[in-house]
Structure 1
Amino acid sequence: MVTYQGKISEEVKANHKGFHEWDQENTSKNHQPIVQILIEGKDKNANDDEGNVLPTLVYMAREKRPQHHHNFKAGAMNALIRVSSVISNSPIIMNVDCDMYSNNCDTIRDALCFFLDEEMGHKIGFVQFPQNYNNLTKNNIYGNSHQVTNQVLMGGMDSVGGPMYVGTGCFHRREILCGRRFTEDYKEDWNGGIKDKTQESIVEIEEKAKSLAASTYEHDTQWGDEIGIKYGYPAEDIVTGLGIHCRGWKSVHSNPPRPAFLGVAPTTLAQTLLQHKRWSEGSFSIFLSKYCPFMFGHGKIKLRHQMGYSIYGLWAPNSIPTLYYVIIPSLALLKGISLFPEITSPWMSPFIYVLCVKNMYSLYEALSCGDTLKGWWNEQRMWMVRRITSYLYGLTDTVRKLLGLSKMTFAVTSKVSEESESKRYEQEIMEFGSSAPEYVIIATVALLNLNCLVVGLCQIMTGGWNILLNVFSPQLILCGMLVITNIPFYEAMFVRKDKGRIPFSVTLASIGFAILALLVPIV
């Protein structure tokens, strides 16, 4: 509210002493460190509705100055690690995003059970809970449920060293975030690390904490490299978790029947694509850096563990074969060029096998993890859309950064939608409504495939149905499946009249690009 209004009201200053030093020159990107202990854990006057004494509650805003890089979320978390060390110095740190909340009162106990296990507890560096959402539609219109990822991929990584750190819903040992390496004789001192603050006043603690949240504190230190959350990557959580695993620690994936934490999923297509662009760009940046799982993890973690990390690291370059998949076979069908063996040829068997088995197994995974049939189909559509937009942009932006043409940014995914957008989301109607470049790509591919299918069918019917159908059936099937997948995009361009439809300017530009693509010769 203070940042939004651009001033500090007298009422706020009276109730929150941390704002006493603020003046009109302070902004959200230029201010001193603020630390205020709002509730002291020993304060018996601070109780919840059931009369239980509330735990210590601290508000912190680290210092930000234009001349000092604040390192986005990673910088904020490192400041929190340091500040908490002078307030409680608890051996376990829980990390939850600001748009998530606790949904299971047993979560902390469950996490501690892993750390206290007599046989394996000393090897556990962090316990990761799935990233679940409370606002998903029944059929998962934007493919944001992550049920297969949570239950299959993340759970499967437990057998090779543990899941990756995903940035939220996670319990870490403080010592491993401070760079400690695993040793077989490691034993957590559960009492020695917690400081007794009876000798220090609240004012003294706050002043000491402020110095730890200063913008210059980390200069000429190992923070952001060997200590704390790593800097320099949009996916700071992934590279931090990899570093922890490579120091010998294991992690645990805990997925209780009642979700531990719930958050807010993106409710528009633009929000979803922005989120996946950041994820793919961050993971690919790691893959091309010194932290590439196959190089950094060589000899430190298992090969299967390295491969598990690389699944996400290769999201961005996966955009290139996907673009080929959705464009070239359809154009070849239009121009009468056969790319596959004849449908009756034995050499067609591997293609049929891959098509059937891949989709049948994908469907089985989705249904067994609680998705619906329509939800699975929506997920297939979104995988295609994300690859030709978010992952393509993630690929190009990563290459630009490597060439020094751009700098790293951290795009925060907005989860706020207008009332009309929320209503369409609840009705499972895809939201467009703007002239984003991503929509031009989506609409161009959709129009291209529709035109190729229509013209290809006409050529087959007029040029010898039986002979040409045997030759072009694989491309016809592929093009037809893409057209069926793109039905919501055709509706958004030509049928829908609401504000969430694809704007006419996007449709017009897409028609132009589709015509240009049709004129490109294929040899």
Structure 2
Amino acid sequence: MKERIENTTKLGRISEEISKEHKGFNEWILVASRRDHQTILQILIDGRDSEAVDIQGQPLPTLVYLAREKRPQCHHHFKAGAMNALIRVSSRISNSPIILNVDCDMYSNNSKSVRDALCFFMDEEKGNEVGFVQFPQAFENLTKNDVYSSSLNVIMELEMPGFDGNGGPCYIGTGCFHRRKTLFGKKYKKNYKTDWKRWSNRSVEESTSVLEETSKVLASCSYEENTQWGKETGLKYDCAVEDVLTGLTMQCQGWRSIYFNPERKGFLGVAPTTLLQSLVQHKRWSEGDFHIFASRNCPFVLGYKKIPLKLQLSYCIYLLWAPNCLATLYYATVPSLCLLRGISLFPQISDLWVLAFAFVIFLHRAYSLGECIWFGGTFKGWWNDQRMWVYKRTTSYFFGLLDHILKRLGFTKSAFVITTKVAGDDVSQRYEQEVMEFGTSSPMFTILATLALLNAFCFFGGLKRVIADLETMVWEQFALQILLCGLLVFINLPIYEGLFIRKDVASLPTSISYQSTIFALLACAIALY
């Protein structure tokens, strides 16, 4: 299909062969582009057609393709706008009371998922309270040691069940069954009941072609003008994590959410296969989450007296990702620079107060290791998780916080950066071998390389000072700082390889090497002099 589209674009017209075989190509015009085209809607399989059966003779469900109208002068609101158009069109064609939302890179891995979700919605005692049923986000292409810490195992296996126990999980944007009425902004009332027998308002007599034409207006750019779509109705606009905000709003309207994690995962997707993809993805998540916290949609404001305090606090685990970068940046720079300068920040090793620091350091690491192993990880996988913990908090979360501040000040506008999941053969091979992928220039890589070199310079400079003054037992004052700095150096080994050892196309560019070396030496010079 990709080749047919590209060849048609180069040719500048629709060939007769393609025109006969693919109806959708007839909608294509010379001036059309990804950001400027009319609504394209086609019912590919009509469930009313007696000939619409599978190879076993079983009836097939209605299948519809939709490309909503896009015009340069009209904001299309990214993923939230696309889903709202789908909600309206589906209400005209099927009007099913339950909607399943999955990302485009995900597929069904469990044929019982629909039945399992409906068990919650149709429960005679509590089913009428359920607004959405959230399945975990899982991936099929994870490596054995999860080199980019993409599995989200701790989040999906530990934190989300805890979320569920505190009042219901958040909506994570994929693998989620929604009650249609909740997406239309309906508030929950105690006497609410669903009549499952009256599920469709579609006219049986209406032909497929007429239904297609009458439904197109629902996906036009002008349909939402002067309406509450994106505000009170549908998924919420003007937020990079519209899913989290939409789920929070539903819970504040009285609906209950359910987290269901079957042994066989309901849906599987594709995890990022390069370091930059992973960092960009977490930058969007952290920026969007903090946007919610720093707005009138903050759980403590929007959810005041509407959802339990423990649920409000549960949201803060993710909404405060971005400002967490400040503490991590401090620990990744200040103790190392002070070590180089000869300033002690921690109690000396012979002081009893050092036990408090040692207890926190080792207990936390042991606890995180236990979590990783308990949920099917490996020791190396845990170490990769510690590495990505540092990388994300010094780049993704930092840029997420910075971007939010700049938007608040009016210097930048909202954007939705799509995480690319398609990788070439060479990239896929390195990913399977768990070789960290750099390859391109990025401000995130500049920061990572600068911090890595800064810690290396300070570590060896501090060791030199300690070795020179062994007789005065100066090492007792700097033992914890040397341990922290050495740990950061060990974490950054893949970056040193990318800077100085590796010569393949996935290594760090020469420009990054020069820039990071200059910045690191400058920081050390300022600390010393």
TM-score, structure 2 length as denominator? 0.96
Q: Whole-Å Cα distance in 1 between the matches of residues 431 and 522 of structure 2?
A: 34
- The aligned counterpart of 2:395 is 389
SS at match of 1:389: helix
Per-residue CA deviation, residues 259-311 of structure 1 (Å, 9 max, x unaligned), is 11111111001111111111111111111111111211111111121111111
Corresponding position: 1:126 with 2:153: no
Q: Whole-Å Cα distance in 2 between the matches of residues 103 and 77 of structure 1?
A: 22
Q: Whole-Å Cα distance in 2 between the matches of residues 481 and 497 of structure 1?
A: 26
- The aligned counterpart of 1:114 is 120
SS at match of 1:398: helix
Q: Whole-Å Cα distance in 2 between the matches of residues 385 and 365 of structure 1?
A: 20
Per-residue CA deviation, residues 114-150 of structure 1 (Å, 9 max, x unaligned), is 1112222111110011111110000000000001100
8 Å CA contact 1:3–1:28 kept in 2: the answer is: no
Q: Whole-Å Cα distance in 2 between the matches of residues 308 and 441 of structure 1?
A: 31
Match of 1:416 among 403, 419, 422: 422
> What aligned pairs does 1:416-495 form with structure 2 within 5 A after superposition?
416-464=422-470, 467-495=473-501
- The aligned counterpart of 2:318 is 312
SS at match of 2:104: coil
8 Å CA contact 1:366–1:372 kept in 2: the answer is: yes
Per-residue CA deviation, residues 319-365 of structure 1 (Å, 9 max, x unaligned), is 11111110000110111001111222222232122112211111111
Corresponding position: 1:144 with 2:157: no
Corresponding position: 1:173 with 2:179: yes
Over 3 Å counting, the alpha-carbon distance change for 1:365 and 1:223 in structure 2 is same
Q: Whole-Å Cα distance in 1 between the matches of residues 81 and 18 of structure 2?
A: 27
Q: Whole-Å Cα distance in 2 between the matches of residues 89 and 522 of structure 1?
A: 69
Q: Which moved more, 1:59-68 or 1:461-470?
A: 461-470
- The aligned counterpart of 1:264 is 270
Q: Whole-Å Cα distance in 1 between the matches of residues 427 and 23 of structure 2?
A: 40
Match of 1:516 among 499, 519, 522: 522
8 Å CA contact 1:128–1:170 kept in 2: the answer is: yes
Q: Whole-Å Cα distance in 2 between the matches of residues 187 and 466 of structure 1?
A: 79
Structure 2 residue runs of 5 or longer lacking an equivalent are none
Over 3 Å counting, the alpha-carbon distance change for 1:331 and 1:15 in structure 2 is same
Q: Whole-Å Cα distance in 1 between the matches of residues 220 and 79 of structure 2?
A: 15
Q: In structure 2, what residue type is equivalent to 1:298?
A: Y
Q: In structure 2, what residue type is equivalent to 1:157?
A: F
8 Å CA contact 2:134–2:169 kept in 1: the answer is: yes
Structure 1 residue runs of 5 or longer lacking an equivalent are none
1:21: how far off? Answer: 4.3
Q: Whole-Å Cα distance in 1 between the matches of residues 38 and 440 of structure 2?
A: 38
Corresponding position: 1:220 with 2:220: no
Q: Whole-Å Cα distance in 2 between the matches of residues 447 and 12 of structure 1?
A: 56
- The count of aligned residue pairs is 523
Q: Which moved more, 1:173-182 or 1:25-34?
A: 25-34
Corresponding position: 1:80 with 2:86: yes
Q: Whole-Å Cα distance in 2 between the matches of residues 336 and 191 of structure 1?
A: 76
Q: Whole-Å Cα distance in 2 between the matches of residues 430 and 465 of structure 1?
A: 42
Q: Whole-Å Cα distance in 2 between the matches of residues 66 and 387 of structure 1?
A: 35
Q: In structure 1, what residue type is equivalent to 2:330?
A: Y
Percent pairwise identity = 53
Q: In structure 2, what residue type is equivalent to 1:437?
A: P
- The aligned counterpart of 1:40 is 46
Q: Whole-Å Cα distance in 1 between the matches of residues 279 and 5 of structure 2?
A: 28
TM-score, structure 1 length as denominator? 0.97
- The aligned counterpart of 2:111 is 105
Q: Whole-Å Cα distance in 2 between the matches of residues 471 and 39 of structure 1?
A: 74
Q: Whole-Å Cα distance in 1 between the matches of residues 511 and 329 of structure 2?
A: 23
Match of 1:238 among 224, 233, 244: 244
- The aligned counterpart of 1:94 is 100
8 Å CA contact 2:340–2:527 kept in 1: the answer is: no
Over 3 Å counting, the alpha-carbon distance change for 1:421 and 1:17 in structure 2 is closer
Match of 1:339 among 334, 341, 345: 345
8 Å CA contact 2:372–2:378 kept in 1: the answer is: yes
Q: CA RMSD in A?
A: 1.5
Per-residue CA deviation, residues 402-441 of structure 1 (Å, 9 max, x unaligned), is 1110110111011122211111111001001112121111
